[in-house]
Structure 1
Amino acid sequence: MDRSSLRPLVGISACLKENGRGGWHHTVGEKYVQAAVRAVGALPILIPAIGPEFDDEPGFIAALDRLLDGLDGVLLTGSPSNVEPHHYGKQSREGTLHDPARDATTLPLIRHTIDRGVPLFAICRGLQE
């Protein structure tokens, strides 16, 4: 089957959030999933925020590149959290929400998405990244 006749695959960045009971969840707002489906008929592929476990490992970067080879686009979502300021030489203000797992996943993902020429759409926090 010709790839042009298939639904596009769009990677969507997830956040890592505590569920209030001591557990953690990778989350993506339904509005972002529906945006990919409705805008381009995509099959959304959620990208979990697992970066800190692998961020300096060459295998992580190779896995990102393999993922990007199969995607038709990447959507970086909004979030209540902000990019940690140390990534751009600043300090965080007390009470600011951060998601270091997302930072460690999306920041290298963005660089590789651009390097590979994969379309990238960023919303809110995604634009900060």
Structure 2
Amino acid sequence: MRPLIGLTTYTERATYWVVTDEETVLIPRGYLDMVSTAGGIPVLLPPTADGPDAVESCDGLLVAGGPDIGAGCYGATRGEHDDDPRTERDAADLATVRRALERGIPVLGVCRGHQLLNVALGGTLHQHLPDAVGPDEAAVHSSAPGVYGPVGIGVAPGSRLAEILGTGPLSVRCHHHQAIDRVAPGLRVTARAGEVVEAVELDGATDGAPWVVGVQSHPERSPDDLRLARGLVEAAEHHRAIGRPGIRVAG
């Protein structure tokens, strides 16, 4: 059987068919298609307290993008530009990521998921990128509502990301106004766009550490490029076949 890849989901008010403004659990279709085409079986994980238990049945985990992580999750106060808090999703996603890390389950974090990896391991975020790098540089990362614009990145040689994508120069598709600030212990920055952290992974990639990669970009928005998804699926296949020790996660 193909490896099972858990995908985090989220709750939003939605209108569809004969239903108006109903609380609905959803995820953009691009994530499912990306995982399926790359050789995995996508499994939707609930944005509830059941999420951590559900991920134990999976061979890999993809942490999807979405709204800002609540500032309180990394010891900050909500800023004027922060999205409305999604406390249930934050709690479920953080618990699910931590469980996956403890079990050695391969993880790919996308945008919010990349930031969540950092927060789950004790890092912090820039709450509004224009305040950190200036409005001109920040505008490249969030050009317009709903637009995933091209961003040039440089990838660190010797990283898992370099094995998958090469060292560049590379162009990826981004839409975000927050970014990693203080990098969590145990994580290594493996790509940047100027001052902005564009990718992280667990330190010790060549020494048997679990396959854990976070990217600030949105690979599901580039359906012709399945390299990251295939990397996750291959790691999930390896994990299912022989397993790999996890890491200890505080919090």
TM-score interval for Structure 1 and Structure 2 normalised by the shorter chain: 0.7 to 0.9
Query: Which position in structure 1 is the counterpart of 2:220?
Result: none
CA deviations 1:6-38 (Å, max 9, x no partner) are: 111110000111126442111111111111111
Deviation at 1:100, TM superposition (A): 1.5
The answer (yes or no) to whether the contact 2:52–2:92 under 8 Å persists in 1 is no
2:93 alignment partner, one of 94, 97, 106: 106
1:50 alignment partner, one of 41, 48, 72: 48
Give the counterpart letter for 1:64 in structure 2: P
Unaligned 5+ runs, structure 2? 117-251
Query: Which position in structure 1 is the counterpart of 2:77?
Result: 91
2:58 alignment partner, one of 71, 82, 91: 71
Counterpart secondary structure, 1:78: coil
Which shifted more, 92-101 or 30-39? 92-101
Deviation at 1:94, TM superposition (A): 3.1
Give the TM-score normalised by the residue count of structure 1: 0.77
Query: Which position in structure 2 is the counterpart of 1:116?
Result: 103
In 2, Cα distance between equivalents of 1:23 and 1:96: 24
Higher relative contact order (CA 8 A, sep 6+): 1
Counterpart secondary structure, 1:19: strand
| RMSD over aligned Cα atoms | 1.7
Query: Which position in structure 2 is the counterpart of 1:34?
Result: 33
Which structure has more strand as a fraction of its residues? 2
Which structure has more helix as a fraction of its residues? 1
Unaligned 5+ runs, structure 1? 1-5, 52-59
Counterpart secondary structure, 2:56: helix
Give the TM-score normalised by the residue count of structure 2: 0.41
Rg larger in structure: 2
